[in-house]
Structure 1
Amino acid sequence: MNDTASLPRKPLYTPADLEGVPWLDARPGEFPYLRGVHASMYTGRPWTIRQYAGCADAAASNLAYRRALEAGATGLSIAFDLPTHRGYDSDHGDVAADVGLAGVAIDSVEDMARLFDGIALDRVSVSMTMSGAVLPVFAAFIVAAEEAGIDAMRLRGTIQNDILKEFMVRNTYIFAPEPSMRIATDVVRYVLDHMPHFNAMSISGYHIHEAGGDSVLELALTLANAREYVRRVVEGGAEVDGVCRQLSFFFAAGRDFFGEIAKLRAARVLWAELARSLGAREPRAMQLRMHCQTAGSTLTARRAPNNIVRTTVEAMAAVFGGTQSLHTNGWDEALSLPGEDAATLARDTQLILQHEMGLCEVVDPWAGSYLMEALTARTADAVRALIAEIDAQGGVIAAIDSGWVQARVHRGAARIQARIDAGEHVVVGVNRFRSNADEESGSHEVDGRMVRALQCDRLRRLREGRDTQRVRVALERLTLVARTGEGNLLAAAIAAIRARATVGECTAALERVWPRWTAALSGDARAYGDNRRGDEAWEAVKASVARWRRESGRAPCLVMLKLGQDGHDRGARVVAAALADAGFEVEIGPHFMTSAVAAEWAALRSSDIVGVSTLAGGHLSLVPALIDAMRARGVEAPVVVGGIVPHVHREALKAQGVAAIFGADTPLDEIVRDLLCVASRTKTPLA
């Protein structure tokens, strides 16, 4: 069987496997929507091609969006940079290294207007991945459309607005869970009243999957989150059918082909049941509509063109599962930001599936399959059982607060990595079928310093030309609504953005009531090592660490850091857990540290090695700044870097003093061996 599957499989399925399986006579477009939310599905209209994209400044992204629409994209999905996600203006000193790198920088309504210049927002559906700074960013979108003559009533699209998954896995939150839930539900209430064609929330399982959750955990947490949101909004006086009508969902399509199809089919059944249990009665309210994206976690840096095949098969799983829209990843995304050729190929992959391969000719072609129907029913049963387990924790927010959710996801990530490192799960070109041509070079660069300089100049001119008193009054009103709970937060943010307040200023107005919030990080002991017990290579590196300990009289020590605004911590936590299991002493620093703060944090801990996990492209600025700050504090520990580091950057980092660089596909036993070598070169007894 596929050892990444959530549920065990057998090689042969027969009619006996259908015994007790409900809904075998279900029809598409009818409750519980197992076979699709529309009777005709893709035979009537193919899924929306909605490629997630954005980088540099608004003008550069606008050009990319217009080209994509001309080339066959049928919707837009906006990627914002990390400072925007975290509610900072581009001229804030703490975010200089991240501006424009992992998405587009948006500081004001003028930026939003440039982003959509020449794009008919009343005809093009726009999805925006934004949860933490949803108030000012969504407000800027609404005001930009308004000033282009398009009323909010005519806008179509989706705002992600799913803050609970940020606390679970993605970590681009700003405020603590309770005020964050207030923000999210105020957005839903505003959309219900003013934007009938807009989805008020896209509840994301994708990020749970990418952080290490299997399909059952992905579905259970996503549906538990959805239930919590619906309850909160309905308790505030909204009507349940109206709330459920304007929700959508976002799932991953990963390497477990059959399991992913079954997951998406089961998701519709489970949501129909859940919505009905919450009081929904309208068919539209019980229909789960979804966007899917192929899995970034399955992309490899070694033999990277193989990712074309992986992405194509994952896209087919999403289509066979009945998605309403789809993003296909660029083959080079494990190396760098996707290049133009890779992005074009990713989009063309969907066009080929739609127009050349016949995938749109039959509604739910897997219906009646012994395997698929049995697997769908078993997936649904497993998800119901896991939701009951979440309820036993006191509900999803209590499960987040206790760390139960994060631990489950982290253990899944460690298990997957251990099986790949041990060769139990084959990844072609990585742990099997290697060749001398396994390494590729990144293909796309963004000059973040130039983007930031442009954004800083635009912010300066915006502040010089606006009515300062009007801005001050609008921001004070936003603070008052946050403090008193009287009024709608999105309505207040729209007024502030209309007055030319910036994203960062709106966030600062909320910070007067709700301080920024940061959760502690940890790596689960034995989460990795238990899955490699008895493996020869793993036992050998553990013996090497034990020998180092005997010779030194102590364990080798490493601190693990995340620099800048990148909250993705799957890699950092798995590596930290594996090192601890191997015999290292490991401590993980908090999220969102500047290089200076990280150096001070490291200086307080006598360590043999300082490790930096980087995924968002800011390493060329952040890592050298860290090394300089460490030297200024007399910290001599060598710095190593792991994650997505294009080969063209590696020599520059080593010239700055980086001792070792580990690509995303490096096995953990290899990392342990190399770290021991680094530690041995600088080995001195610690005080």
Structure 2
Amino acid sequence: QRFPVEPSMRLVVDVIEYCQQEVPSFYPISISGYHIREAGSTAAQEIAFTLADGIAYMEACKNRGLDLVAVGRRLSFFFNSHNQLFEEIAKFRAARRMWANICRTRFGLTDDKACQLRFHSQTGGSTLQAMEPSNNVVRVTIQAIAAVLGGTQSLHTNGWDEALSLPSEEAASLALRTQQIIATESGIPDSVDPLGGSPFIEELTDGIEKEALSLIEDIDERGGMIHAIRDGFARRAIEDSAYRAQLDQDSGVSTPVGVERDGEIPEAPFSVDPAVEAMRKSSLEKHRENRDNDLVQNHLVKVEEAARGEVNMIPVMINALESGCTLGEICSALTGVFGEFQDHG
């Protein structure tokens, strides 16, 4: 995160407002919990912090005067899917139920589509192992099945060799085929919520929901998710969970299959060609040489002026980009006004 929390929130709401007016069928943001889980959170923490982010976005949109039904119909979420099959299924089920209730009780929405939890899932990158990496094919398959059984709308399956580098073409193809086999040959997507009603799954779902709601209550008591990020509460909670999980792995309680203390790690299948980096640098230099740099500076000043004011910044930034400004230059201009995020974790 580059900017402090408040201006970051302003930019998000600017995007939502702009898209609501100009491209109303577009989904402007994906509220992510993936990175939260990758950093070491528990399943309950992942959905609690992600939905708390969603609450903060909805409240900011309400304060801006936006139509919350229109906003709710165009929010999407992004979750991780890990190895614990039933826990992950229950996590997704709990998140769907929680968000619907949040939209109805907190924000008074009655439109069913505005209360839906639309979410994308990606299999857990942090669960992939560099030792005996072919075992990751099984891990990815379990995680993908959990996401589908939990009701995901879209899915990304990782390549089995991504613990080593960017995936090889073979690994990327197998990851795609894994999805396609689940979709067309397994019968798993043929039923909605096929494990619903199972006493075990319902108890797991209730338990995760209860734990996540308790965390959201703690966040509310702190003044909301913006304050929980600013004072380091969310980061400390995630770090504590990550530390405990690492202790379990180091002690042998939860050592991944195939991982040995002195095991060998295969050579990475992918490396970046230095020539590609040189080509991109050359392209950027030529762009800067051939543009109207007086016009660029004029637009960067306008970006700074907009950042100091209260106007929606998206049209200003679009004009700046069309004039030849680079994304890095625009971010630098915004940093000059907003400052940079200071982590108090």
What range describes the TM-score normalised by the shorter chain of this pair? over 0.9
2:326 is aligned with 1:502: yes
Tell me, in whole angstroms, the C-alpha distance in 1 between the residues paired with 2:55 and 2:344.
Answer: 26
Count of residues in correspondence between the two structures: 344
2:117 is aligned with 1:288: yes
Higher relative contact order (CA 8 A, sep 6+): 2
2:270 is aligned with 1:444: yes
Shift of 1:384: 1.3
Shift of 1:238: 0.4
Tell me, in whole angstroms, the C-alpha distance in 1 between the residues paired with 2:181 and 2:318.
Answer: 41
2:248 is aligned with 1:419: yes
* Matching residue of 2:290: 465
Shift of 1:460: 2.1
Shift of 1:452: 2.8
Q: Which amino acid aligns with 1:497?
A: L
* Matching residue of 2:317: 493
* Matching residue of 1:529: none
* Matching residue of 1:611: none
Change (3 A) 1:214 1:510: same
SS in 2 for 1:238: coil
SS in 2 for 1:293: strand
Report the TM-score when normalising by structure 1. 0.49
Residues 232-288 of structure 1, C-alpha deviations (whole Å, 9 max, x = no match): 111011011111111100011001110100111111110001111212221111011
Report the TM-score when normalising by structure 2. 0.95
Q: CA RMSD of the aligned region, Å?
A: 1.7
2:227 is aligned with 1:403: no
2:167 is aligned with 1:299: no
Match of 2:278 among 449, 453, 475: 453
Using the TM superposition, name which of 376-385 and 306-315 deviates more.
376-385
* Matching residue of 1:615: none
The answer to whether the 8 Å contact 1:240/1:279 transfers is no
Shift of 1:520: 5.6
SS in 1 for 2:77: strand
* Matching residue of 1:206: 34
* Matching residue of 1:670: none
Tell me, in whole angstroms, the C-alpha distance in 1 between the residues paired with 2:50 and 2:335.
Answer: 28
Shift of 1:437: 7.1
* Matching residue of 1:474: 299
Q: Which amino acid aligns with 1:210?
A: E
2:179 is aligned with 1:350: yes
Match of 2:146 among 317, 333, 338: 317
SS in 1 for 2:338: coil
Tell me, in whole angstroms, the C-alpha distance in 2 between the residues paired with 1:363 and 1:309.
Answer: 24
The answer to whether the 8 Å contact 2:230/2:344 transfers is no
Q: Which has the larger radius of gyration?
A: 1
The answer to whether the 8 Å contact 1:329/1:346 transfers is yes
The answer to whether the 8 Å contact 1:241/1:279 transfers is no
Residues 445-489 of structure 1, C-alpha deviations (whole Å, 9 max, x = no match): 112x3233212221222223223333222222111110112x211
The answer to whether the 8 Å contact 2:232/2:344 transfers is no
Moved over 4 A (4+): none
Gaps of 5+ in 1: 1-172, 522-687
Q: How does 1:5-154 map to 2 (within 5 A)?
A: none
Shift of 1:410: 0.4
Tell me, in whole angstroms, the C-alpha distance in 2 between the residues paired with 1:439 and 1:453.
Answer: 30
Percent of aligned positions that are identical = 42
Match of 1:341 among 170, 180, 189: 170
Match of 1:221 among 49, 56, 59: 49
Gaps of 5+ in 2: none
SS in 2 for 1:199: coil
Tell me, in whole angstroms, the C-alpha distance in 1 between the residues paired with 2:344 and 2:50.
Answer: 23
